[in-house]
Amino acid sequence: MKDKKTLFHYHLMLSPGILLLFVFSIIPMLGIVMAFQNVIPGKKIWKQEWIGWDNFAFMLQIPDIKQVVLNTVLIASMKIAAGIIIPVVFALLLHEVQVRWFKRTVQTIVYLPHFMSWVILAGIMVNILSLDGIVNQIAGLFGMEPVMFLASNTWFRHIVVWSDVWKEFGFGTIVYLAALTGINPSLYEAAEIDGASRLKKLQYITLPGIMPTIILLTTLSLGNVLNAGFDQIFNLYNPLVYSSGDIIDTYVYRLGLVQMQYGLATAVGLLKSVVAILLIAISYRLAYKFANYRIF
């Protein structure tokens, strides 16, 4: 009883945050009903016509839905995998560097692209990858035929994935570097006295030390498995690479927003959120079961 009383003012202090959450996150969720309506923009939401699961049924009837979902999952999972491995490896390498100014500089430089918008980067990419762009010029020195990268279905996914990795891995690196500095140095000293090699130290101290961070970021990123990056692809794609680059979001953009099919667009968004929540829940269970690690 007394406990509850002491806790009360903490709850009171929490209430503005809860209120904001309620106003900006919970109330807008009522808009989910649009997924089950034939939405006419401008009409009040409760006056729209109810059509049950029709929007979802239509979504599944889209003839190239398989291709679009496949593209999305492929691109997103490549991004997720590369987005975990590369920052970890890079952070470990950078952690070994002893020259402090060099380490700092590299850290800053790789972090920079994170702040640029895809609209600008896409312009740069189009230039770099054009027929007389720098990539084709260098390839030309080795006698290779110029390739129209952004019109090629073999290259497009790679361009999307690797340019995204280039843009974002600096951010991950910084998180892991922070985790690395959190490892107690006395562990390394002890291992040294026991005669452990660098590799052994990496295997038994460093990796277990940052494992919680890796699991946390991996679990959270799994929620993105249906988010292949709208900004990026929208600015890079063209009809020629629809078959490898058209993702759920760009498809829904053309169908939903350009043609103002809000009901359908909401249905797709809802489905994506449900899948994301399921995946996060599953990976949370897995992390608990196999790594004995609780995130929340």
Partner 1 sequence: MKLKWIVGCLVVLMLLTTACGSSGTEPNPDTNQTEGTKDTEKSPDSGKEDPFGKYDEPITLTLGKSISTKNTNLPNGDTVDNNEYYRYIEKKLNVKVTHAWQTETQEAYQQKLSVSIASQDLPDAFIVNEKQLKQLVEADLIADLTDVYNKYSSPLIKSYYESYGDRVLKRATFDGKLMAFPGTEIGGQHNMTWIRQDWLDKLGLQPPKTLDELLAIAKAFTEKDPDGNGKNDTYGFTGLPTLAGWNTVNGFDPIFGALHAYKGQWLKDQAGSTVYSSTLPEMKTALAKLHELYAAGIIDKEFPVRKDSTELIAANKVGIVFGPWWIPYWPLPDSVKNDPKAEWKPYTAPLDSDGKFNTYDQNPTGSFLVVKKEYAHPEAVAKVLNMEYEGIRKLDPAAKDIYKDLNVSWVIWPFAIQIGFEDDAYRVHLELKAAWDAKDPSKLNDELKMWYENVKKNAENPKKDLAVWSDSMSRMDGSAEIDPSKLTVIRNVFFGQTKTMELKWAILEKMENETFLKIILGEEPVDKFDSFVQEWKKLGGDQITKEVEEASKK
* Positions in the binding site for partner 1 (CB under 8 A): 9-10, 12-13, 15-16, 19-20, 40-43, 58, 62-64, 123, 126, 130-131, 148, 150-151, 238-240, 242-243, 246, 251, 254-255, 257-262, 264
- Taking the complex as a whole, how short is the minimal distance between the CB of residue 266 and partner 1, in angstroms? 12
Q: Which is nearer to partner 1, 222 or 252 (CB)?
A: 252
Cα separations (Å) of 244 from 148, 225, 248, 268?
Answer: 15, 16, 12, 20
What is the smallest separation between the CB atom of 239 and partner 1, expressed in angstroms? 4
Assigned token pair, 184: 């107690």
20 or 97: CB nearest partner 1: 20
Helix (H, G, I), strand (E, B) or coil at 226: coil
DSSP state at residue 38: E
Closest separation between CB of residue 45 and partner 1, Å?
A: 10
In whole angstroms, how close is the CB of 41 to partner 1 at the nearest point? 5
**Whole-angstrom distance, CA of residue 58 vs CA of residue 275:** 18
> Among residues 139 and 282, whose Cβ is nearest to partner 1?
139
Distance CA 115, CA 48 (A): 41
Question: With respect to partner 1, which residue has the nearer C-beta, 26 or 207?
Answer: 26
Query: Collapsing DSSP states into helix, strand and coil, what is residue 49?
Result: strand
Task: Quote the DSSP letter at residue 24.
Answer: I
Q: CA triplet 248, 251, 256: central angle to 5 degrees?
A: 110
Beta-sheet strands, E only, within the chain? 37-38, 49-50
Q: How far is the CB of 17 from partner 1 (least distance, A)?
A: 8
The residue among 10 and 115 lying less far from partner 1, judged by its C-beta, is 10
* Closer residue to partner 1 (CB): 8 or 288: 8
User: From residue 135, how far is each of 78, 126, 148, 167, 241 by CA, in Å?
Assistant: 23, 11, 10, 18, 19
Least distance from C-beta 226 to partner 1, angstroms?
19
SS3 238: coil
